[in-house]
Structure formats: C-alpha cells, structure tokens
C-alpha cells in the first residue's frame, strides 16, 4: 500500500423509484422507469452537486412487504411459501469522496436474443450470456465520450412470455407458479453534462471482456455437493489477476441456481432461467470480473492448487 496517499473514502446514495400510480386490488403500484430515475438524479446535480467522483452505479433488487415502510438500507428479508413476493429495483450510486466533478450517470442494457419460442412442453431458448457480453463490448468500444463505471448482470422478469422490459423497476413472483427471467447485462457509465465546455479528453477505446470464476466443488456423492468458501474463490481470482496482469474494470458477485432453472441445462452461460414456486432450489455464488482486454490463461503452477474432492454418502466395501 502507498502510505503517502490519503485513505480512500467512499459514500453512496440510494435512488428509489417514485410511485406513479396506485395499486389495484391484487397488484403492485406503478413506479418510475429506470430512465426517469436516472434523469431525476441528473437534473438534481444542478442544485445538489455529488459528494465525489462516481465509482459505480449498481441496480439492487429488494423485496418490498409494503412500499410505505420500504427501507433501501435493510440488509435482510424473509420469504414465505405460498405467498406472492414483490420486488423493487433500487439504483445505488457509489462515490469516492473528495474527488471533484459533476458527472451525469446513465445505463445501457443488452438483452439476450431469443433463438426459439418454446412450446407447450418446452421452454424458450436464448443465446448464451457470452454473446450478450460480446455485443456490449462492441458498443463500449465506440463510446469515446462516456466513462465506463461498472457492468452488472440482472435477472429481468419475462412479461407475457416474451417481453423483456429492462426499464421496469418492479415485479412480482407469484406463489405456486413458475416465473421466467432472462439475464441481461447492464453497463453503467458517467459523462460530463452537455452544458459544460472543455472537459476531459475522450476516453481510449475499451475492449470489454468477462472472466467468470465458479467456486470449486469439495464433495461428491448422493447428497447436494459442498463448495469452497467465497474467500477461497476470491484468492483464486487474485492469483489469476496477478499472473495475467489483467486490468480489472469492475467485479460482481452473482447468485445462480445449481440444479434448477436454465442453469441446469446451460450452466453459468445460461441467459434464461426460471423460479418454480413449488420446488426447493440450491444456489452458488460466482464471481465475474469485467476486464479491459483479453488475457491468456496462466500456467496451472502459478495458481492455488485445487482442493481434493471428497466422496460422501457412499458405502465403502471393506
């Protein structure tokens, strides 16, 4: 660590979608769209400058028991079987304190293309998630006036079986019914207001790539397997970055289904998934690093050794 530099201080603010319409007898109220939330924030910059330089713009899904008592800083929730679950997306902006600037923020969404619509006994099929990242990379390489902040994968509910509305800031998971989602990539960026003269020079072209790290399996057998801790996965990520010299743009932790949803068929590259309200689900956390550039895999000897996989729940013949 460079002891000569002052410690970095962080701050954040929550952008909560404002209610635009009242709920019906069984539904949710309507809320601002993502564009309206970001536009409201950017308009406020003229009267209330931000506390520092924008580091990241995160979209956070939160369960809402009722909008009147909604707390965006609550760090837990409960889910009960047999009940509908209502969710609201909150935009959280992170800053580095002390840095000057008055940057506006925005987001570009990249939606997987549908390859087949499915049928009575089959699910729709969407292109793999790495195709979505490739389209986002092409877009990023053409944006010289925008500063990349972070990338994030989001599960967006499919409405009416096919419609993907990434601007919608709320959704409901219905009890005893299957809810379908597509996994989109959201690229958050900042830019100087159009009224400012001069400003920063154009950003160099960005070559966006993604490296996904799965937790390594520790056990096998008839029971649900165990996996290494998130801290162990993080150490492998750090070793990979040191060995490759990769320039990391942003990282995210993603919860993914293990045996159900689209992941059961296409693995972590699945861009379609679903929640079956009648079935138990097992989840793993994967780490995604978004990089500037493509990097070759390092030799195995410079990486931490993989753990030995233990057999459990099996009978041994003596």
DSSP 53-73: EEEEEEEEEEE-S-GGG--TT
Question: How far is residue 256's CA from residue 273's CA, in Å, rounded to a whole number?
Answer: 9
What is the pTM for the complete model shown? 0.90
With contact defined as beta carbons under 8 Å apart, do 268 and 215 qualify?
no
Positions in the chain short of pLDDT 70: 1-3, 23-27, 66-68, 80-82, 100, 161, 194-202, 277, 313-318
**Which residues does 109 contact at the CB level (< 8 Å), separation at least 6?**
166, 184, 185, 186, 187
With contact defined as beta carbons under 8 Å apart, do 129 and 184 qualify?
no
107 Cα distance to chain centroid: 13
* Residue in the block written with tokens 């965006």: 72
Both tokens assigned to 316: 């041994």
Question: How far is residue 286's CA from residue 283's CA, in Å, rounded to a whole number?
Answer: 10
Give me the count of residues in the chain.
Answer: 318
Question: How far is residue 310's CA from residue 219's CA, in Å, rounded to a whole number?
Answer: 5
Is residue 184 packed enough to be buried (19+ CB in 10 Å), middle (13-18) or exposed (0-12)?
A: buried
The secondary element (H helix, E strand) that includes residue 128 is none
Question: How far is residue 26's CA from residue 98's CA, in Å, rounded to a whole number?
Answer: 47
């Amino acid at each position: 660590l460079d002891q000569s530099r002052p410690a970095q201080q962080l701050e954040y603010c929550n952008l909560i979608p404002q209610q635009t319409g009242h709920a019906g007898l069984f539904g949710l109220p309507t809320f601002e769209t993502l564009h309206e939330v970001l536009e409201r924030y950017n308009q406020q910059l003229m009267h209330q400058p931000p506390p520092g330089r924008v580091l990241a713009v995160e979209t956070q899904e939160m369960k809402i028991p009722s909008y009147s008592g909604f707390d965006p800083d609550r760090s837990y929730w409960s889910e009960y079987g047999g009940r509908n679950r209502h969710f609201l997306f909150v935009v959280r902006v992170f800053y580095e304190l002390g840095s000057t600037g008055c940057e506006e923020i925005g987001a570009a969404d990249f939606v997987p293309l549908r390859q087949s619509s499915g049928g009575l006994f089959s699910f729709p099929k969407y292109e793999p998630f790495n195709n979505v990242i490739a389209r986002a990379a092409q877009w990023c390489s053409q944006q010289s006036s925008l500063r990349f902040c972070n990338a994030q994968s989001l599960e967006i509910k499919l409405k009416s079986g096919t419609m993907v509305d990434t601007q919608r800031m709320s959704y409901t998971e219905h009890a005893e019914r299957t809810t379908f989602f597509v996994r989109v990539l959201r690229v958050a960026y900042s830019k100087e207001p159009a009224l400012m003269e001069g400003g920063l020079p154009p950003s160099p072209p960005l070559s966006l790539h993604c490296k996904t790290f799965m937790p390594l399996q520790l056990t096998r057998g008839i029971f649900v397997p165990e996996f290494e801790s998130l801290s162990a996965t993080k150490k492998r990520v750090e070793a990979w970055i040191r060995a490759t010299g990769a320039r990391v743009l942003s990282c995210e932790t993603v919860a993914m289904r293990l045996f159900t949803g689209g992941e059961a068929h296409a693995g972590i590259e699945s861009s379609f998934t679903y929640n079956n309200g009648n079935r138990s689900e097992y989840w793993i956390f994967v780490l995604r690093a978004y990089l500037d550039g493509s990097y070759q895999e390092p030799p195995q000897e410079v990486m931490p050794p993989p753990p030995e996989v233990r057999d459990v729940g099996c009978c041994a013949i003596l």
